Amino acid sequence: MKIFNSYTNQIEEFISIHPRKVNMYVCGPTVYNYIHIGNARPVVFFDTVRRYLESLGYDVKFVSNFTDVDDKIIQKAIEENETELVISQKYINAFLDDLNALNCNTDYLQPKVTEYMKQIIEFIEDLIKNDFAYDVDGDVYFRVDKIKDYGKLSNRNIDDLISGSRVDINPKKESPLDFTLWKKTEVGINFDSPFSNGRPGWHTECVSMIDNIFHEQIDIHGGGMDLQFPHHENEIAQSKALHNHSLARYWMHNGRLSFKDEKMSKSLGNVVFVKDITDKMPLRYFLLSTHYRSPLNYDEESFSMYVKEWQKLEMAVKSLFLKLDLEKQYNDLIEIASPEILKEIDNFNLAMSDDFNTANAITSIQSLIKTINQSLRQKTNYNHLNQQLKAIMYMANILGLKIQLIPMNSEDRNLYEQWQSARSSKNFSLADELRLKLSQRGII
Ligand SMILES: [Zn+2]
């Protein structure tokens, strides 16, 4: 399997640090608002990475944090006259609802910054002890010029960075590039520390949580492309300072999602929240339809095409299952032996092993759907139909595309027969009514 490693800027063969085990960390949300569909892109993509790695037999330890200490949360708490804890819990719950609706696994370690404060403070103390950080009147900064290849991940040059940062010189810093590890403050939620009452900087939160949870270099660190600099660059700098490694062996970054070719942002008023999209599976399908490193553009018109495409796909699979279920021929234990179907699965796996090319993987799904639709029109070979169903469910499951196949009970069968006879006697209003009932039960 090959992965594009942002750190080395090249496609590399994936070799896990420990055999059959993958440790991965993805930067999670700052919980002060609902997530928009741009935020959902890494969430859905890295959930898919985990699913595919697990399908290959890896035991994946997946960790993604909640940033629940942040200026934006404090601001929101002031605006809504609430505590930071109430605000962050509200949006953590909303985030988990969105994850469930997007069929993302939620059963993973979700550390909160507030729960790791002791470890974060110790991590900063270690950096000071090793001379990589300094305390000025209760503010602690990281000494960037002690890190030789600072800028490697984001392909930035130190001199350019310095000249670019001249405008905003903080007299407390030794160098304009030095970043905050601890900020002394009495505004909003703050914590007692040997430096001052204050709170940690975002860049030190993720790296110290990784350090405390994994205790070693991890396999994969993921996040959006916009986190490469300064967030991930600064995580790497701290890891190099204390452990002399780049924190993760593979750094993976997904491209940006734009809205009608503009950045999705609140100031532009073009934010689409995940919670406001009715069709969550088509959204997942849309987010995976483009390779994760490419930019993705959202607008209502093109999204509605994905919704239609998804409905066709779902209908084909449900019709296939319905046919087998009606004839009591559904067989989950069937072995896939047909060379054409095995070829489709091969193509799917090849695409996924090629730096998680979900766009090509979806092409395999569409091709199999075409075959399914053809076989549904032809003379029935149950064995073949069962193999097709098994193959399409395998692919859908790896991409996390949920298609519910509900076996009919006797009541459903009754409704189904009534529907068929209403159709053949051209009683369309009754047929529509029965059709709606069957669709509400998830049968068709
Ligand atoms: Zn992070």
Domain that holds residue 367: 323-398
Look at residue 308 and tell me if it is in a domain.
Answer: no
Asked if the structure places residue 25 within a domain, the reply is yes
Distance, CA of 93 to chain centre: 17
Kindly state whether residues 270 and 367 are assigned to the same domain: no
- The number of angstroms, rounded, from the C-alpha of 245 to the middle of its chain's C-alpha atoms is 25
Asked, for residue 284, whether it belongs to a domain, the answer is: no
Reported as a pLDDT band with limits 50, 70 and 90, residue 233 is very high
Q: Are residues 116 and 26 in the same domain?
A: yes
CA of 27 to the centre of ligand 1 (A): 4
Residue 245 Cα to ligand 1 middle (Å): 17
- Shared-domain flag, residues 244 and 327: no
Separation of 205 CA from ligand 1 center, angstroms? 7
CA of residue 207 to ligand 1 center, whole Å: 7
Residue 97: is its pLDDT beyond 80? Answer: yes
Interval 95-109 mean pLDDT: 97
Would you call 68 exposed, middle or buried from its count of C-beta atoms within 10 A (0-12, 13-18, 19+)? buried
Distance 203 CA to ligand 1 centre (A): 7
* pLDDT score of 29: 95
pLDDT at 380: 76
286 is a domain residue: no
Q: How far is the CA of 102 from the centre of ligand 1 (A)?
A: 22
pLDDT at 260: 85
The confidence band for 364, taking pLDDT boundaries of 50, 70 and 90, is very high
CA 50/CA 174 separation, integer angstroms:
41
Identify whether 304 is part of a domain.
no
Identify whether residues 245 and 375 lie together within a single domain: no
In eight-state DSSP terms, residue 153 is: T
| 266, pLDDT greater than 80 | no
Q: What is the Å distance from ligand 1's center to 164 Cα?
A: 23
Q: How remote is the CA of residue 232 from the centroid of ligand 1, in Å?
A: 7
Is residue 386 in a domain?
Answer: yes
For residue 2, pLDDT beyond 70: yes
Residues 251 and 368 in one domain: no
**261-287 average pLDDT score:** 91
| Cα 66 to averaged position of ligand 1 atoms, centre (Å) | 9
Residue 236 is predicted with a pLDDT of: 98
The 8-class DSSP code of residue 154 comes to: T
Helix ranges restricted to H, 256-357: 280-288, 300-326, 339-353
pLDDT(174) > 80: yes
Mean per-residue pLDDT over the chain, rounded? 95
- Tell me the pLDDT band of 108, cut-offs 50, 70 and 90: very high
User: Ligand 1: distance of its center to the CA of 136 in Å?
Assistant: 25
C-alpha of residue 1 to centroid of ligand 1, in Å: 25
Q: Is the pLDDT of residue 175 over 70?
A: yes
Q: How far is the CA of 197 from the centre of ligand 1 (A)?
A: 23
Domain membership of residue 120 (yes or no) is: yes
Ligand 1 center–CA 167 separation, angstroms: 26
Centroid of ligand 1 to alpha carbon of 28 (angstroms): 7
Same domain, 146 and 212: yes
Q: Are residues 119 and 95 in the same domain?
A: yes
Provide the domain count of the chain: 3
Q: Taking residues 339-344, what's their average pLDDT? A: 96
- Ligand 1 centre distance from Cα of residue 298 (Å): 25
DSSP for 98-146, written as a single string: HHHHTT----SB--BGGGGHHHHHHHHHHHHHTTSEEEETTEEEE-GGG
Q: Given the DSSP bridges, would you call strands 257-259 and 296-298 parallel, antiparallel or unpaired?
A: parallel
Res 166: pLDDT: 63
Q: Is 284 exposed, middle or buried (0-12, 13-18, 19+ CB in 10 A)?
A: buried
Report residue 237 as tokens: 């700098």
How much distance in Å is there from the Cα of 40 to the middle of ligand 1?
Answer: 16
Q: How far is the C-alpha of 289 from the C-alpha of 283, rounded, in Å?
A: 10
At 168, the pLDDT band (50, 70, 90 cuts) reads: low
The structure tokens listed for 206 are 């993720």
At a CB cut-off of 8 Å and minimum separation 6, what does 425 contact? Answer: none
Report CA(224)–ligand 1 centroid distance (Å).
Answer: 10
Q: Residue 115 region, left (φ>0) first, then alpha (ψ -120 to 50), else beta?
A: alpha
pLDDT of 278: 93
